């Protein structure tokens, strides 16, 4: 379990470096009930080696997942009695045109996050 937690945490950290303001320096600490201690010196280089080794494959899988998700979002939905969930792209666009929702930009840690709120 420790290896899984370290691998996914480190991979997420490396991906987050794409965001503005996130540097490449990494500190990993174990937080236990009675103690906090840093990652073992010999483990950090191995984590980096493995993440670098598999990053290309992970990127390709991510691109495939995004493409499939976009195709699903773009596909017209049939009307159903259970019409819950977010509206499709056309309805979102229509709501923005008639002024039902206004785009709002907030600054958070030097990155801009676009949100919508009801008028």
User: Counting every residue, how long is the chain?
Assistant: 119
Can you read off the two tokens belonging to residue 117?
């709120």
pLDDT tens per residue, range 34-52: 989 888 788 888 988 998 8
Confidence grade of residue 57 (pLDDT, cut at 50, 70, 90) = confident
Instruction: Please check whether residue 48 lies inside any domain of the structure.
Output: yes
**Counts for the chain of helices (H) and strands (E), in that order:** 3, 4
Q: Considering the chain, what percentage of its residues have pLDDT values greater than 70?
A: 66
pLDDT tens per residue, range 5-20: 888 888 888 888 878 8
List 102's β-bridge partners, or say none: 117
Instruction: Please check whether residue 105 lies inside any domain of the structure.
Output: yes
Confidence grade of residue 55 (pLDDT, cut at 50, 70, 90) = confident
Instruction: Please check whether residue 67 lies inside any domain of the structure.
Output: yes
- Domain of residue 64 covers 2-8+25-74
Number of domains in the chain: 2
Instruction: Please check whether residue 17 lies inside any domain of the structure.
Output: no
Same domain, 65 and 98: no
């Amino acid at each position: 379990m420790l290896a899984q937690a370290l691998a996914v945490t480190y991979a997420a950290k490396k991906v987050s470096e794409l965001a503005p303001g996130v540097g490449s320096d990494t500190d990993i600490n174990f937080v236990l009930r009675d103690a906090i201690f840093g990652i073992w010196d010999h483990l950090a280089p191995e984590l980096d080696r493995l993440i670098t080794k598999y990053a290309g494959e992970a990127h390709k899988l991510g691109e495939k997942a995004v493409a499939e998700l976009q195709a699903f979002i773009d596909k017209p939905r049939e009307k159903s009695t259970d019409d819950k969930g977010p509206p499709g792209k056309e309805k979102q666009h229509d709501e923005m045109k008639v002024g039902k929702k206004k785009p709002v930009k907030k600054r958070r840690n030097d990155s801009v996050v676009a949100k919508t709120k009801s008028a």
